[in-house]
Amino acid sequence: MTANTVVYIIDGDGKLGKALQSLLDNYEIEVESFTTPEFFLSNTSNDRESQSCLLLTLSTGCQDGLRQVRTILDARPALPVIVLCNTPDDNLRRQYVDLGVTDIVSKSMIDAYVFTRLSAIFPGAQNLPVIEPSTMNAPDGTLVTIRMIGPDDAEIEQQFVKTLSERSRYLRFFSGLRELPEYLLRQLTHTDFPISYALIATIPAPEGERQIGVARYTPTLKKHVAEFAVVVADDWKRAGIASQLLRYIIAAATVAGLHQLEGLILRENWPMIKLATKLGFTLSTENKLDPTIIKVVKFLR
């Protein structure tokens, strides 16, 4: 995100403005809220338009916003405007786009789509939210870095899987897989927030970095529900890495607007079941087809 970025919000009752401000503050994005277009125009200038956008919330019918959009864009024609509406349809979207708005988005989807929209608007902003790497000290004092995974991590991800013990690979993949097929390696190293997200834990190594853990969530067929997975190298278990990774995944899924995280865990993998319950997951009774597998679920909202 570029410096001095600001998101303006026009929100009659102020509820959405407060929620988005709390969300965007986590990523050091400045937010300014206003109650009407007139109040917004009289209290801001156009000197920050290249680093700003406006979210216009319609509290009543979507048609009522056409006049507000004309008022705003007549005064600030270069300002990107996103209209938030309860029930946008294709006909209404065309009317707003013809007026010059960037998009019209359902209010119910804004929490999941806001970063995608902003990353397409702000110059230099890519793959929001960009989480800066964080560090933690392992029990032996080793500095462990936790960061987002990327395409350049394909080699260390593959090496990580190859060096897992046969049992660890079985507990993670429910199979005897020894290395990742090319298609799966690409899928696991190319995430698409808010749809999917992954973090890896690394330590310094002679060749640069050694991956010692990974956690991720991926979409399911159910709306607003994702599946999580976490695995740590055999020689780094019980060092607090899995719990730290999973905490970050829960936070990312919450920011993405997901309603539920779920995971399938082999019944014999009691350390993973214990960790999941510690972090607020509950055992589900949905999965009754295979007695060797336990399903855990965490509700995020």
Query: Residue 30 sits in a domain of what CATH number?
Result: 3.40.50.2300
Q: What is the band of 3 on the pLDDT scale with cuts at 50, 70, 90?
A: very low
Same domain, 235 and 116: no
Of 291, 237, 244, the C-alpha closest to 264 is: 291
pLDDT score recorded for residue 109: 54
Domain enclosing residue 81, as ranges: 6-121
**Do 117 and 159 fall into the same domain?**
no
Average pLDDT, the chain: 82
- Give per-residue pLDDT as tens, 190-205: 888 778 899 999 999 9
Give the pTM: 0.59
Q: Would residue 128 count as lying in a domain?
A: no
Domain ends where: 94, 121, 148?
Answer: 121
Structure tokens at 91: 């006909």
List beta partners, residue 53: 7
Note whether 108 and 28 are same-domain residues: yes
Residues 172, 165 contacting (CB under 8 angstroms): no
Shared domain check, 111 and 143? no
Residue 107 near residue 16, CB atoms below 8 Å: yes
pLDDT band, very low/low/confident/very high, at 100 (cuts 50, 70, 90) = confident
Place of tokens 């009752």: 13
Instruction: Verify that 184 and 41 share a domain, yes or no.
Output: no
Share of the chain above pLDDT 90, in %: 34
Structural domains of the chain, count = 2
User: 218 forms bridges with which residues in the sheet?
Assistant: 227
